[in-house]
């Protein structure tokens, strides 16, 4: 095999690997691969195979020199009533399902849900 063919096969292998890795991290999230991205985040340079979580809650893996593959970090709730909504807690990657009318109240529906301890212990 020629060098170009080997590089293409290696790149395809890397892309397939990132999507397999991301599937294990989050079965309901989206993934992308950026062939032009560098393996630098917040001033730190990552080596091939190292991972980090970016500001938009994507877990990224360095595949230098081929680029960076990223998948959503964590699971997104999908089955909740229309009077509730899923929102990301400020400055974290944690998603909570809360009442649309009052984001300090958790959405309680069907089954057993954890209640907050007191009025002084809101979600946000």
- Tens digits of per-residue pLDDT, 22-75? 444 334 578 999 998 899 998 999 999 999 998 888 999 999 889 999 998 877
Domain that holds residue 83: 77-124
> Same structural domain for residues 68 and 90?
no
Helix (H, G, I), strand (E, B) or coil at 20: helix
Query: What average pLDDT does range 75-79 have in this prediction?
Result: 80
In 19-118, DSSP assigns E strands to 31-34, 40-41, 44-45, 51-53, 58-62, 68-72, 84-88, 95-99
26 and 60 inside one domain: yes
Quick check: 9 pLDDT over 90?
no
What is residue 79's predicted lDDT score, i.e. its pLDDT? 83
Question: Is 61 found in the same domain as 111?
Answer: no
Q: What whole-number distance in Å separates Cα of residue 44 and Cα of residue 41?
A: 5
Nearest to 74 by CA among 63, 91, 88, 61: 88
Structure tokens at 62: 């360095």
- 103-118 per-position pLDDT tens digit: 989 987 665 555 554 4
Domain C-terminal end among 52, 72, 92? 72
Query: Which distant-in-sequence residues (6+ apart) come within 8 Å of 3 by Cβ?
Result: none
Query: 0.75 cut: is pTM over it?
Result: no
pLDDT of res. 26: 36
Among residues 44, 72, 100, the one where a domain terminates is 72
């Amino acid at each position: 095999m020629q060098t170009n063919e080997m590089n293409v096969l290696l790149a395809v292998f890397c892309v397939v690997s990132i999507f397999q890795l991301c599937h294990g991290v989050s079965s309901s999230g989206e993934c992308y691969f950026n062939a032009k991205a560098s393996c630098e985040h917040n001033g730190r340079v990552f080596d091939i195979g190292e991972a980090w979580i970016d500001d938009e809650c994507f877990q990224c893996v360095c595949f230098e020199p081929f680029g960076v593959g990223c998948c959503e970090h964590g699971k997104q709730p999908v089955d909740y009533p229309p009077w509730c909504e899923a929102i990301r807690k400020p400055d974290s990657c944690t998603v909570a399902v809360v009442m649309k009318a009052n984001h300090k109240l958790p959405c309680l529906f069907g089954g057993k849900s954890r209640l907050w301890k007191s009025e002084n212990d809101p979600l946000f």
